[in-house]
Amino acid sequence: MKIAGTEYFTGVYNRRIEAKLGINLKKSYDKEIEKILERGQKVVDSLLLSDEGKKLSAEKAQKGTVGNGEGKKDHGSIDFPESGKIDMYEILLRQQKEVAAGREATDEFWENPTNQWLNFTKYLDQHGFYENRSDEDVKKFENLLSEITNGMDFLTGLQFNTGFIDVRGSFHSGPRPYMSKAEAITSLESSTNALSYLAEKLLPDDQKEGFSKLIDLYKSHNEKIIEDYKNPFEGMERAIGLSIEKRKDYFGSSLKPVEEAKYQSMKAKITKTDKAYKDYWKAISEEFRRYNESQDDTILKSVKEIYLNFVTDNTKDVNFRNYMMKKAKSTFSHIEHCWKRILEKA
């Protein structure tokens, strides 16, 4: 795919389709992209564009006026009401480049921080993994890789305010809650082991070592992001919870039902040290290593228990534990679904 005149790798399946059609993928998928942008329009309109984004918008608006004359449309971009002509892919890439700040020179995952699966599929492509495989097989495998890295892709997009556009053709804007730091740790350990399991079961021996090194880089890349990660809503929730706790007035809270106020108050009193997070990380890592080896479903249940013990301070209050698990439902549902697909494939 060409973006701003530069060839951008968007996966093997996309490249094959582009070659078969004999035209630029962006033009080929014009209608689909319009649908994607329409679904994301409300999100886009609510975003505060970076200075780079505003500059790009102004540049494109000026080009459209000067280059096309008398209101003719520049077919290389999309019209946004009151926003000028903004190519969302170009803005995404420019913002990601700003965030990478040159780090992509030593860490290739900064090249695709919200589509990290591209690094894995690119490696496989370069080493002949997709040769003699049908387009449909390639598509399914790349979809699986994308699903594995989805948690970290989405987290990165939120952490650095770049947004998240899946180059396979899906605009991911929500509704999807921000992960807690403990959820992010769990998601990374799951995805790292999922990639390792997939490599062990499906890759030729001569491709395993290089893929394994790529997994190590993926893990270290995301570890650094998680270390600095803070859920932007947790601070606000904690302030509300502590206020409720101070008044001891669950009924007078604006939160409904009353149980919501009670459990938010309980959650607000729980704080974690860096050491506590490290210990939790170590425990979760060990559980997923075990699951990688045995695929014993009881281990996934153990992961949930470790998570709940951590985020509830080992409370025995069943209702509070259920409340905290409900808040993490999206993360654990994704982990379970992802592993189900992997085990079916392998």
Contact assessment for residue 24 and residue 1, using Cβ atoms and an 8 Å cutoff: yes
Given this model, what pLDDT does residue 174 score?
A: 38
CA distance 287 to 190: 9
The residue ranges of every structural domain in the chain are 2-176
Residue 230: how many other CB atoms lie within 10 Å: 11
Given this model, what pLDDT does residue 283 score?
A: 98
| Token pair listed for 157 | 């997009």
Given this model, what pLDDT does residue 25 score?
A: 45
Given this model, what pLDDT does residue 74 score?
A: 40
Give the contacts of 164 (CB within 8 A, at least 6 positions apart): 114, 153, 154, 156, 157, 158, 172, 173
| Token pair listed for 336 | 């379970």
User: Which of 110-119, 131-140, 173-182, 217-226 is predicted with the least confidence, judged by mean pLDDT?
Assistant: 173-182
Q: What is the mean pLDDT of residues 152-174?
A: 66
CA distance 215 to 197: 11
Q: pLDDT, tens digit, for every residue of 298-317?
A: 999 999 999 999 999 999 99
Contact assessment for residue 13 and residue 124, using Cβ atoms and an 8 Å cutoff: no
Torsion of CA 203, 298, 304, 322, to 10 degrees: 140
Q: pLDDT, tens digit, for every residue of 55-104?
A: 555 555 555 444 444 444 443 333 333 333 335 667 767 777 787 888 88
Place of tokens 């919501």: 260
Q: What is the mean pLDDT of residues 157-180?
A: 62
Contact assessment for residue 118 and residue 112, using Cβ atoms and an 8 Å cutoff: yes
| Token pair listed for 105 | 């020179």
The DSSP bridge partners found for residue 2 are 7
Residue 201: how many other CB atoms lie within 10 Å: 11
- Tell me the residue ranges of DSSP E strands in 72-134: 79-80, 84-85
Given this model, what pLDDT does residue 231 score?
A: 76
- pLDDT confidence bin for 143, thresholds 50/70/90: very high
Of residues 171 and 63, more confidence is placed in: 63
Sign of the Cα torsion 84, 89, 90, 96 reads: positive
In the predicted model, what is the mean pLDDT of the chain? 78
For residue 182, pLDDT beyond 60: yes
Given this model, what pLDDT does residue 342 score?
A: 95
Given this model, what pLDDT does residue 5 score?
A: 59
Convert 165-191 to b/e letters by CB count within 10 Å (16 or more is b): bbbbeebbbeeeebbbbbbbbbbbbbb
Given this model, what pLDDT does residue 157 score?
A: 83
Q: Which amino acid is at 247?
A: R
Q: What is the mean pLDDT of residues 24-33?
A: 53
Given this model, what pLDDT does residue 73 score?
A: 40
pTM: 0.76
Given this model, what pLDDT does residue 29 score?
A: 53
